[in-house]
Amino acid sequence: MNLPNKLTVARMILTPIFLIIFMNDKIPYNELIGLIVYCIGSFTDFLDGKIARKRNLISVFGKLFDPIADKMLTTAALLALMSYNMCSIYIVFIVLTREFAVTGIRLTASAQGIVIPANIWGKIKTFSQMAFTIFIMIGIVLRDFAILPETFPLALVSNILLWITAIAAVVSGVVYVKDGVKMIDFN
């Protein structure tokens, strides 16, 4: 297994660790530690792609599992933020619907021996979702340390940012399905 694929697997392993820590208020500084774990997971996404392209280590495993690892990490974060009332259930529904549709197309293509890699819109969606999530979690941590005033409308800001990612999810999903439908045989 090459280094980019190991980083993808590491992101998959970090996902439940992030969620368990971030959601467990019995752990001192759980949100700060969870934020750090999430940042490490997000950084592996940037790093695995960069290394794979630079060293020409792009593999079928990476094309299939890198997006799955991203979905795991970003979905875990959305669920955590939803439990904090920082994310509308409608945002989670839109993002998950997109993920299921894209995964369905990806699996259909894979069964036919076709690998459809992520497109630029999917990368923009994932990057914005990770960046906005980090920003929101920083807000949660700053509020816990009384650096950010309780009166700051963090939930409102959070939902606005996450609606942007929901829109990006819809756009990237439509583009992916449109491109995928051209490549696969539905008969």
Domain that holds residue 112: 3-183
For the chain, what is the domain count? 1
Query: Looking at residue 76, which CATH number applies to its domain?
Result: 1.20.120.1760
Q: Report CA-CA distances (Å) from 126 to 13, 45, 118, 158.
A: 18, 9, 10, 16
Structure confidence by residue, pLDDT tens digits, 35-76: 999 999 999 998 998 999 899 998 888 888 888 899 999 999
Sign of CA dihedral 148, 150, 156, 159: positive
Q: Does the predicted TM-score (pTM) go above 0.85? A: yes
